Homo-oligomer: A and B are copies of this chain.
Amino acid sequence: MTVLKKSEIKRNALVKATITLVNNNGFHATPMSKIAKMANVSPATIYLYFENKQDLVNKVYIGVKAAFTAYAFATYQDHMPVAQGFELIWKRIADFKLNEGEEALFLAQCDNTPVIDEDSRQAGIKHLKPLLDLWERGRQERIIKPLSDYLLYAYTINPLSFLMVMQDRGAFKIDKNTIEDAYQAAWDSIKH
């Protein structure tokens, strides 16, 4: 187990609190005072770790996005066959969303609203490079339809976010079968 400095513990608590509160109320309905309270910290302390509120969400977003993509690509290797590589990455992403529900929800919220600075958003997109490369290979090998990255994303990765949000609202429950069905639908929509 990594030993954390006290300051890192505080920073982590602030990040956690931000994620939870933004998930439940949205960014602008989450005052710094509440974040501080949930992290057991004085409001002023936040400003030792972050420049201001905007800087706080930006940094939390980038951090979560990094953790997300690290998880997604952890077991992927770029010499894998396209279909196998896609299934692997897709299911890792699904795993992340299931196991790290709060983080996934936070990303979904940030990706769909004008909360994050454009710079931070761009930084987050960069991390997807391996998947975009895989898709390019898939198109060239005629395994994947000749669709733009945006369409491929819209029909494979994005639906997971939607399902997450619905689950969070208590509308329904994602289980093993749901995941398998969703994967089939995703693959069917883009396979040649």
Q: Which chain A residues have a beta carbon within 8 Å of chain B's beta carbons?
A: 24-29, 108-109, 112-115, 145, 147-148, 150-151, 153-155, 158-160, 162-163, 165-166, 171-172, 178, 181-182, 185-186, 188-190
Q: Do B171 and A115 touch across chains, with their CB atoms under 8 A apart?
A: no
Q: What residues of chain B lie closer than 8 Å to A114, measured between beta carbons?
A: 24-26, 29
A152→B190 CA distance, assembly (Å):
16
Q: What residues of chain B lie closer than 8 Å to A178, measured between beta carbons?
A: 148, 151
A104→B188 CA distance, assembly (Å):
27
Give the residue of B24, B26, B181 whose beta carbon is less than 8 angstroms from that of A28. B26
A142: min CB distance to chain B, Å: 16
A183: min CB distance to chain B, Å: 11
Known: A109-B113, A112-B113, A159-B158. A151 touches B27 (CB 8 A): no
Q: Is the interface of A mostly helix, strand, loop or mixed?
A: helix
Give the residue of B112, B154, B160, B182 whose beta carbon is less than 8 angstroms from that of A163. B154
Q: Do A147 and B24 touch across chains, with their CB atoms under 8 A apart?
A: no
Q: Nearest chain-B residue to A115 (Cβ)?
A: B26
Q: Do B147 and A185 touch across chains, with their CB atoms under 8 A apart?
A: yes
A24→B147 CA distance, assembly (Å):
29
Q: What residues of chain B lie closer than 8 Å to A190, measured between beta carbons?
A: 185
A–B complex contacts, Cβ < 8 Å, 28 sampled: A25-B114, A26-B27, A26-B113, A26-B115, A27-B28, A28-B28, A28-B29, A29-B114, A108-B112, A109-B112, A112-B165, A147-B185, A148-B172, A148-B178, A150-B171, A151-B159, A151-B182, A151-B185, A154-B160, A154-B162, A154-B163, A154-B166, A154-B185, A155-B189, A158-B159, A188-B188, A188-B189, A189-B189
Q: Nearest chain-B residue to A158 (Cβ)?
A: B162
